[in-house]
Structure 1
Amino acid sequence: MPTPQIRNLEGIVLRASKGSEGGRSLSLFTREMGLIHLTLPRAVMNRCGTGILLSFACVRLSAAIYPEYGVISQYEGRLLFDMMKLSYEDMTCWYYVIELVLALYPVGQKEDEAYDILMAAARAAEERNPRVIAFIASVKLLAAAGYDPTEAIEDPTALSEGARDLLCRFRGYRWGSHFEGSISRALFTECARYLDHFLSTVCDTEMKTAGAFL
């Protein structure tokens, strides 16, 4: 067996699922390694607690990293915001964000911009409209992955002028600032339909959560 690399990481939990022998399998987006998948043994989970194993918890952890997998030895953290308090419709929008990251970002590749977007969006969701924040995060994450939806509109008729302007304002939004202008429901829906289509045609990604923002 190869000698593991011991790493101290800071990351955002995206997804936790049942693992072997009562443990968990975690998908995280870390500052140091980007997207990674780690095993959390039951013994470590019992020692460190399960309260922060929800999506969008920020955790600091130590892990033994092998070529094909990694095992967490200890962790601590806190929730950036509690998805469980959202309505079903708003919660689905955040699962859209998670699915987008898992689909478009390669495992083990450091992505500072994407990490900062996820962190800022999760913090903003505590105080602002969580559905709009999730959509802004999706637009920004697409652009950070090299698929800027505001620059790849080949068909000028794909979006109305108002929807195109709104999409560009989402793309350029600065976290923590006031969003300039109003958000028309009709234009937001038009942008949401376009983003689903963009992911399907440009990114070749069929989202299970497609339609979440409609």
Structure 2
Amino acid sequence: MTVYSPPAGSVGILGTGSYLPGEPVGNDTVAARAGVTAEWIERKTGIVERHYAADHEAASDLAAEAAVRALDDAGVRARDVGWIVVATSTPDHPQPATAALVQHRIGAAGAMAFDVNAVCAGFATALHTGARLLAVPEADGGRRCALVVGAEVYSRILDRADRRTAPLFGDGAGAVVLGPVAPGRGLLGTGMGSYGHLHGLIGVEAGGSRLPASEKTLLRG
């Protein structure tokens, strides 16, 4: 377990932003494809609707929209951002990093940009990382803000007929701007850890270097 306790009030959230694409997709639509009822989905998950990205939208598009809104809320200029950390398990491409595309889209030239893939724990991991980076003065290049974004486009990889997963996932992005805050405010601390021996419980098996995507893997779902 990695525990981080910044100096009191040193780093905090200056602004937030979010973006949901398209129109809401209700449980009736999802239920018809998954062979269940809308009532079953709500009873099992508490979810009543989700959003799906348009065909032309990828993770970086959603992330950039949320990022711009967070910067506006914080009153921070893109050129004052020193770090961009994007948490995503559905990136635009295997490479380059989705964060690099966001950096270009929002005009944050010079900011260090990289992705974090910790799936469900992605945003918390990215927030922890961004706070740690800002706590090291010599590492910020004189820019005292970090942009942390979580963005997913799970509609592209969902099996719409799988009632175990199809109702759970949608698309969207959320962002925060981290920076200096007054004493008595800010992040109190974070603790992060992993249980790698449980890696087989859930995942997307194909598409990586162990089992590259192919016609065969697509047919097998």
TM-score band (shorter)?
Answer: under 0.3
Structure number with the bigger relative contact order (C-alpha 8 A, sep ≥ 6) is 2
TM-score of the two chains, using structure 1 as the length reference: 0.23
Provide the TM-score with structure 2 as the length reference: 0.22
More helix by share: 1
